[in-house]
Amino acid sequence: MNHIWVLFLAHVVLSTVATEVHESGELLNTAEVCQYMQCVEDGSKLSLKFNETMWKQFSEQLNTTFDLNTWNWSKLDDLVQENRTFEVVFNGLETLHVHILQGHGSVTTLNLDNNQIAMVENEAFANFKALMTLSLRGNMITVVNDFVYNPNMLQHLDLASNRINDIKGLKTYTLSHLTYLNLSHNLIKSIGTELSKLEALETLDLSRNAIKRREKPIILPKNLQQLLLHNNELTTWPFETVPETLTDLSLGFNQINLTKEATNVRRLDLSYNRLASFCGECFPSLEELDLSGNYLEALPRFGNQPTRLRKISFNRMPNLQSIERSTFQGVTEQLHELEISFCPQLTTIEFHAFADLKELKRLDLSYNALQQVPENMVNWNQIEQGVNLQGNPINCACSMQWLVDRVIPAMHSKRELHKLFPNLRCAQPAIYKDHLIVHLTVHDNLMCRKYQEMDLPGMETVVQLMKEHRQMQFVRAQQIILAALICGIILEGVSAELGVACALPAGPPVPIGLARSLSGSKSSSSKLELVVSSVIRSRDSSFTGGVVLPVVAPDVDAGKSGVSPL
């Protein structure tokens, strides 16, 4: 019996909901305002977006243009329901001057972006008693006035991408609930105490203006948590003190040359400034730090106590030349990500430089000037997201064989790390130039092998390149000896007893006596081959790592029969 009652009640509830949904849909279809505005319902919130095309069709008989200042906001009354709020969007209008609007008590979000608005009257939005979000992005406003009336519920104010150069009106703002203020992409040149009264403000975006520090420092709201001041014209630290609540501070792309203490900041962006040093102890709560694009010659130290740092970026530092072992020793146990890339003078990493970073998951050392890296600089097995060495001029010598034997195969076994291979190439020796290092894992101990040991399956291309290079050396040596012979013959008639050497910059000196003996010998071609081979032996170190390869003198008869001496 009970289950029958349950089914009956469920049927009643579903029928009621279906009826309400049907009635709501009918209401949206029949309401006049929805004939020229796109009406979309999302739960208890109804979004109405003005559509120019729909308006032209609706007002075809009236033959009138839409006027925001005279529009009757009471037309929203037809859509009012219990607990329903409105988001109203008017974009793309040509409304230069916004007067005091009629407003509506159910509108909580008003979007007037990209309308060419140049001036807004005082208290223009005072009749929107429930307004919580106001966006005026992409207009031509130059001065900030008291847009709203006190008391108000405004929490989110977006004035980005205007032409604002005067924010003195914010001094008298009574925005006791405002938590977000965006003034980015404007023409603001200075900030003083204008924002200090916004006591509820948590996020302030002043990026991409022309702000310079005046004689007096910037005074920030006392409860501010996030401050964006990047892409301005600051030349020094802009604050005397910062609120204890401030945890996120962005000052990148300025011209700052020094820093001061900010003990509670967790995320700090000082990239692309003019810092030659950094006070690591001034920011004991740091979790993320970006010092990219500064002029530090050595990486900063972070004091003697363990830090909370989880991510550090030291990219594009033109003066950084080496990474010392003591930089990260014992102080950054929680570090997960470390980026040191695009540093054109970084050539040296000391042994065990990153060995103390027990929690390191990602290490980016790409596009530096590293020819070799020490095997024990880091615990390679613990780096889950891999070590990025792409773009470095790696010298694929025998001393780097460990990379091919152990690190590359381990990375190759994880498909997600294959993205670290495309630009991981050899820069030298010449025989391996531009070869992918991952391809050198085909044969064991390949980087340490001599030329004669490389005649293996799969090495045909490499061997052919080596032979061609050696042939070029042989031809060059022949040219040197021929020049020496000519020089010897000429000097023989001038000063036969000088006994000096006829030397060329491109090769070793050849005594005149040797030249004379070669020129007068009936088997000069054979002796020429011997001298050429001798010159090659003295110059041939590109492929053998300094080991001189034995060269057998070619048989003269074999040469006559057309057999190549090589």
pLDDT at 504: 46
Residue 528's pLDDT band (boundaries 50, 70, 90)?
Answer: low
Q: What is the mean pLDDT of residues 126-153?
A: 88
- Tell me the C-alpha distance between 285 and 293, whole Å: 23
Residue found under tokens 């030291």: 314
Collapsed DSSP state (helix, strand, coil) of residue 220: coil
Asked if residue 116 has pLDDT above 90, the reply is yes
- Tell me the C-alpha distance between 515 and 536, whole Å: 18
pLDDT at 505: 46
How many CA atoms within 13 Å lie on the side-chain side of 525?
8
Q: What is the mean pLDDT of residues 416-442?
A: 92
Least confident segment among 95-99, 153-157, 531-535: 531-535
DSSP 552: P
pLDDT at 464: 65
Q: What superfamily in CATH does domain 274-389 come from?
A: Ribonuclease Inhibitor (3.80.10.10)
- Tell me the C-alpha distance between 541 and 430, whole Å: 11
What distances in angstroms separate CA 397 from CA 14, 25, 361, 407, 440, one per listed residue? Answer: 76, 74, 28, 16, 12
The two counts, helices (H) then strands (E), for the chain are 8, 24
Helical packing angle, 512-520 and 460-494, nearest 10°: 100
Check if the beta carbon of residue 309 is closer than 8 Å to that of residue 290: no
pLDDT at 496: 55
Strands (E), 324-367: 337-339, 348-349, 362-364
Average pLDDT, the chain: 82
Check if the beta carbon of residue 107 is closer than 8 Å to that of residue 128: yes
pLDDT at 446: 83
- Tell me the C-alpha distance between 323 and 338, whole Å: 13
Output the CA torsion sign for 520, 524, 528, 534: negative
Classify strands 510-511 and 501-502 as parallel, antiparallel or unpaired.
antiparallel
Check if the beta carbon of residue 268 is closer than 8 Å to that of residue 283: yes
Output the CA torsion sign for 55, 61, 62, 64: positive
Residue 207 tokens read as 């990026």
**Distance from the Cα of residue 338 to its chain's centroid:** 13
- Tell me the C-alpha distance between 226 and 265, whole Å: 9
Task: Judge residue 33's burial from the number of C-beta atoms within 10 Å of its C-beta, 0-12 exposed, 13-18 middle, 19 or more buried.
Answer: buried
- Tell me the C-alpha distance between 125 and 132, whole Å: 11
How many CA atoms within 13 Å lie on the side-chain side of 277?
6
Asked if residue 433 has pLDDT above 60, the reply is yes
Q: Among candidates 90, 94, 147, 149, which has minimal Cα distance to 116?
A: 94
Classify strands 45-50 and 37-42 as parallel, antiparallel or unpaired.
antiparallel
Residue 64's pLDDT band (boundaries 50, 70, 90)?
Answer: confident
Least confident segment among 125-139, 367-381, 502-516: 502-516
Full-model pTM: 0.75
- Tell me the C-alpha distance between 35 and 51, whole Å: 9
Residue 24 tokens read as 């709501």
Asked if residue 408 has pLDDT above 60, the reply is yes
Dihedrals phi, psi of 529, to nearest 5 degrees: -65, -40
CA geometry: angle 303, 307, 308, nearest 5 deg: 160
Q: Which helix (H) or strand (E) holds 39?
A: strand 37-42
Q: Among candidates 366, 321, 324, which has minimal Cα distance to 342?
A: 366
97: β partners:
119
Collapsed DSSP state (helix, strand, coil) of residue 339: strand
How many CA atoms within 13 Å lie on the side-chain side of 26?
6
The radius of gyration computed from the CA coordinates of the chain, to the nearest angstrom, equals: 38
Residues in the chain: 566
DSSP 268: E
- Note the pLDDT tens digit of each residue in 158-212: 999 999 998 887 776 668 899 999 999 999 999 988 898 899 999 999 999 999 9
- Note the pLDDT tens digit of each residue in 463-488: 566 667 667 877 888 888 888 888 87
Residue 301's pLDDT band (boundaries 50, 70, 90)?
Answer: confident
What distances in angstroms separate CA 365 from CA 124, 337, 424, one per listed residue? Answer: 55, 11, 11
Classify strands 337-339 and 362-364 as parallel, antiparallel or unpaired.
parallel
pLDDT at 302: 78
Residue 72's pLDDT band (boundaries 50, 70, 90)?
Answer: very high
Show me where the domains of the chain are located.
274-389, 393-451
Residue 156's pLDDT band (boundaries 50, 70, 90)?
Answer: very high
pLDDT at 517: 46
The percentage of residues in the chain with a pLDDT greater than 70, rounded to a whole number, is: 76
Residue found under tokens 């929203």: 76
**Distance from the Cα of residue 331 to its chain's centroid:** 26
